[in-house]
C-alpha cells in the first residue's frame, strides 16, 4: 500500500483520489475550504463538483496541509493553476528531499510565463516534480469509464512510478520525457476550446469545429516546438487527444464558457455561469505573450484574446480568421512545378 496525499478537492482531485483508493492505496485529501471538507466527511461525495460519485469511507479529508503532505510516498497537486504557486509555497516546509509531486492542473502562469511544473520546482526545489495530462474529464474518470493519459517526468524511473500508481484496467497511463510539450498541449488546448465553444454558441457546425481543432493543434505545436518541445507529443494524447475532448465534451468548462460568450455573454457572465475555474481564460494572455517572445503566429489564440479582453464579438473574430491572407496549408511542402 502506498500513502498518497491529494492537494485539492475539486472534481479532478476527487476523481483521482477515488481512482488511487481503488488501486489499493491509502489516500488523504486536502482542501483549504472548511465547508468543502465538512461536506466530504459527511456525505462522502462532492455534491457540487462531482455529484453521483460516491467515495469510500476510509478516504481521509482534512484542512491540515501538513497532515496531507508529511510522510506520504507521493503527492498529487490538483489545485487550479492560478492557486499553484501559493499552494506550493505553503506545502514547501513539509516536503522532503525527492518526494514525488504529480502536477495534474493545466495552465501557464501569466506573470512569469512558467508552466505548472516549473512553478512547483521553483517553490519546492527539493521535490521530484512530474506531470500527468491527457483527455480525462473527472466526470468520466470518477465513474470508471476507460481513459488514457500520460505521465511525464525528468527521469524514466519517476515516470514509471507514477504510471504504476495510477494505472489499472480502466485507466491506462503512458510515459513521456517531454514535460514541456505535455504541459503546453494541456494548457493551450483550453484556449482553443474557448474558440470551439464560441463557434457552438454561434450555431456553427461540424465543419467549423473540425477547422478549429485542426488549425488549433497547428498553433499549439508551432509554439511548443519553438519553445523546445517535441512535435510527437502534440500529435499524441496530451496534444490532439486532449484538444479533441476539450473542444467536444459536454463536461468541458472551457467549451461551455466559450459557448456562452458565443451567445452574447460577457467573459465575466460566462465564468459566473460555469461556476468553476475556466483555465483557458488564464492561459490565453500567457499564450499570446509567449507567441510574441518566440516570434510565432497564433491567429486563433489572438482572436480569442480579443473576445475575452477587448470586447470583440465572437462572430467578428470568426470572420476575421476566415478572411486572413491566403496561404498554403503546409509551407514545408514543395510543388513539382
Whole-number pLDDT of residue 242:
96
The whole-angstrom separation of Cα 261 and Cα 309 is 12
Whole-number pLDDT of residue 226:
98
Whole-number pLDDT of residue 1:
85
CA angle 158–187–40, rounded 5-degree value? 75
Digitized pLDDT (tens) for each residue of the chain, 337 residues in all: 899 999 999 999 999 999 999 999 999 999 999 999 999 999 999 999 999 999 999 999 999 999 999 999 999 999 999 999 999 999 999 999 999 999 999 999 999 999 999 999 999 999 999 999 999 999 999 999 999 999 999 999 999 999 999 999 999 999 999 999 999 999 999 999 999 999 999 999 999 999 999 999 999 999 999 999 999 999 999 999 999 999 999 999 999 999 999 999 999 999 999 888 888 998 999 999 999 999 999 999 999 999 999 999 999 999 999 999 999 998 889 999 8
Catalytic residues: 189
CA angle 10–12–15, rounded 5-degree value? 105
Torsion angle in degrees (nearest 10) through CA of 222, 228, 232, 236: -80
Whole-number pLDDT of residue 337:
84
Which stretches within 167-298 are classed as H helix?
179-201, 206-226, 231-234, 242-248, 253-262, 267-274, 279-294
Strand partners, 75: 5, 101
Q: Which grid coordinates belong to 264?
A: 452574447
- 157 and 128 in contact (C-beta within 8 Å)? no
- Model-wide pTM > 0.85: yes
CA angle 118–124–127, rounded 5-degree value? 90
Amino acid at each position: 500500500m502506498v500513502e498518497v496525499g491529494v492537494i485539492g478537492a475539486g472534481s479532478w482531485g476527487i476523481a483521482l483520489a477515488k481512482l488511487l483508493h481503488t488501486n489499493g492505496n491509502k489516500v488523504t485529501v486536502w482542501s483549504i475550504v472548511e465547508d468543502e471538507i465538512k461536506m466530504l466527511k459527511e456525505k462522502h461525495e462532492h455534491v457540487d463538483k462531482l455529484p453521483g460519485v460516491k467515495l469510500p469511507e476510509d478516504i481521509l479529508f482534512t484542512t491540515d496541509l501538513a497532515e496531507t503532505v508529511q510522510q506520504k510516498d507521493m503527492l498529487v497537486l490538483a489545485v487550479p493553476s492560478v492557486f499553484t504557486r501559493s499552494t506550493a509555497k505553503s506545502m514547501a516546509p513539509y516536503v522532503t528531499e525527492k518526494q514525488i509531486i504529480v502536477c495534474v492542473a493545466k495552465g501557464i502562469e501569466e506573470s512569469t510565463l512558467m508552466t505548472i511544473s516549473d512553478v512547483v520546482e521553483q517553490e519546492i526545489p527539493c521535490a521530484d516534480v512530474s506531470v500527468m495530462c491527457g483527455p480525462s474529464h473527472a466526470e468520466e474518470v470518477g465513474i470508471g469509464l476507460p481513459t488514457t493519459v500520460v505521465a511525464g517526468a525528468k527521469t524514466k524511473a519517476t515516470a514509471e512510478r507514477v504510471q504504476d500508481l495510477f494505472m489499472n484496467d480502466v485507466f491506462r497511463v503512458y510515459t513521456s520525457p517531454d514535460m514541456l510539450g505535455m504541459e503546453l498541449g494541456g494548457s493551450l488546448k483550453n484556449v482553443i476550446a474557448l474558440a470551439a465553444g464560441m463557434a457552438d454558441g454561434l450555431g456553427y457546425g461540424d465543419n467549423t469545429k473540425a477547422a478549429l481543432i485542426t488549425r488549433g493543434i497547428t498553433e499549439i505545436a508551432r509554439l511548443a516546438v519553438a519553445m523546445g518541445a517535441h512535435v510527437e507529443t502534440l500529435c499524441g494524447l496530451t496534444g490532439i487527444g486532449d484538444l479533441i475532448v476539450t473542444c467536444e465534451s459536454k463536461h468541458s468548462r472551457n467549451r461551455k464558457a466559450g459557448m456562452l460568450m458565443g451567445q452574447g455573454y460577457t467573459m465575466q457572465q460566462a465564468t459566473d455561469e460555469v461556476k468553476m475555474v475556466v483555465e483557458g481564460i488564464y492561459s490565453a494572455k500567457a499564450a499570446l505573450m509567449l507567441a510574441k517572445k518566440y516570434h510565432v503566429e497564433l491567429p486563433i489564440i489572438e482572436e480569442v484574446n480579443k473576445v475575452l479582453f477587448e470586447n470583440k464579438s465572437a462572430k467578428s473574430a470568426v470572420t476575421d480568421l476566415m478572411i486572413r491572407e491566403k496561404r498554403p496549408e503546409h509551407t514545408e511542402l514543395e510543388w513539382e512545378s
